Structure 1
């Protein structure tokens, strides 16, 4: 694995899959400014690599991520009280930048959530395309119990994902959601033993990487626009994206391979 920046994030590319690993296990991979900076750099670098067709986001050690570094957040609050307004470039802005980078990535993303992903870590997982969670995971937005509220995107993404009523229940109660319930309401895709979460995330990413990369990229764009676009506009957008693929190598290869009863060899062009 290759270290990114200050070493708080590791990257490994295995054929068409890139693993991005939070690497601060002594702090349960809690996110501080250095880790967030490294994470944004890692996502940007990996997503620009044309050989990569799927990304996993994992945590080194027994826990995915304990959320934001509590000491850092306390110090941030104390510093804010000493000035009239907060400066730009805060840790909250960094988390937002990372979340946006995940959401706008060129390739699909899979998060492996083992044992813990509270608060900021919960919000970090939301823009991913797939979430694999362990059956013992502490998963939820608990910020109202910490003197604030989730503002790394959860108040906007959760209602779109699970409906307003359930989103209010999670955000305003500050309670963890049971992983099985999270699966039932469509918040996560799979629940499994903590010991196999990372492997299952890699397996899913490998499966995704076998599909046509241009098709997946445009499908994700259309799907992500679905909840924010009127139906007629969404259908027009979908149609326009589809036409972009008609004269590509992968389009011809996909149908030719099916007619010849063989596996397609997609090239992303």
Structure 2
């Protein structure tokens, strides 16, 4: 069933297109959708051909959040989402959002329609969010008497001040994609977010995959709360790993000759 909920297609250029496929329910999160998202992130994390990922929802919405009714009707209930497997940092629900940060290439979320609750947190797990101006965004868990718990502590602090995060979380209010851009929930807005996300992914796919992966690792490990000495040392270490390697040489050659580079897949 998880395969039906999330579809993956990888282009010849190495762009992986991941689609949540429950359009009739605005891609609401049932157990199978959680399972499908975790599977997709794990598969793409280990696919060396992949240069960038675009994550979107089929139909009119990105993801309307958790399907409460499906879990209330389940014999195991919502507690299944809180199970943490041995050796995992994140629990089952958290992994649907957090695991996108562990995919070593850029993940771009294309947001249209409703992006509520768990759906908003999945989008926050992406590196970049491109939204339609009229998209509807909300950290909505307070509506159900809950706190946001899908790794939002790892994503939101990098995007906005704590008072703004608290106001959105305490109220659960719905903001437009355009207002979300101002607040920091999304990177930018455009009338066709999927086309823009795909165009950006294709542009990234033409860059050195070694450099792009290293840049994501650098920022993920150092952006907030990192020890200064460790952060500076990581810059040096990553740069040393890139210097003189085939893809770095190919990038320089292409830049000097003004021709398209030919890169090899990372080891």
Report the TM-score, using the length of structure 1 for normalisation: 0.88
2:71–2:77 Cα contact (<8 Å) kept: no
In the alignment, does 2:3 pair up with 1:13? no
Q: 1:22 maps to which residue? A: 20
For residues 102-134 of structure 1, what are the alpha-carbon distances to aligned partners after superposition, in whole Å with 9 as ceiling and x for unaligned? 011011101011111100000001121110111
Q: 1:68 maps to which residue? A: 66
**Alignment partner of 2:264 out of 239, 256, 267:** 267
> For 2:8, what is the secondary structure of its paired residue?
strand
For structure 2, the residue ranges without an aligned partner over 5 or more in a row are none
Report the TM-score, using the length of structure 2 for normalisation: 0.89
**Alignment partner of 2:221 out of 214, 219, 225:** 225
Change in 2 beyond 3 A, CA 1:76/1:51: same
**Alignment partner of 1:48 out of 22, 46, 49:** 46
Change in 2 beyond 3 A, CA 1:197/1:86: closer
User: Deviation of residue 70 (structure 1)?
Assistant: 2.0
**Alpha-carbon distance between aligned partners in 2 of 1:256 and 1:212, rounded to the nearest angstrom:** 12
2:72–2:78 Cα contact (<8 Å) kept: no
1:155–1:167 Cα contact (<8 Å) kept: no
**Alpha-carbon distance between aligned partners in 2 of 1:29 and 1:170, rounded to the nearest angstrom:** 22
Q: How does 1:173-184 map to 2 (within 5 A)?
A: 173-184=171-182
Q: RMSD of aligned C-alpha atoms?
A: 2.5
In the alignment, does 2:180 pair up with 1:199? no
For structure 1, the residue ranges without an aligned partner over 5 or more in a row are none
> For 2:54, what is the secondary structure of its paired residue?
strand
> For 1:222, what is the secondary structure of its paired residue?
helix
**Alpha-carbon distance between aligned partners in 2 of 1:165 and 1:8, rounded to the nearest angstrom:** 36
> For 1:107, what is the secondary structure of its paired residue?
coil
User: Deviation of residue 250 (structure 1)?
Assistant: 0.7
User: Deviation of residue 141 (structure 1)?
Assistant: 0.5
**Alpha-carbon distance between aligned partners in 2 of 1:192 and 1:223, rounded to the nearest angstrom:** 25
Mean CA deviation greater in 202-211 or 152-161 = 152-161
Change in 2 beyond 3 A, CA 1:192/1:230: same
User: Deviation of residue 78 (structure 1)?
Assistant: 9.7
Q: 1:97 maps to which residue? A: 95
> For 1:162, what is the secondary structure of its paired residue?
coil
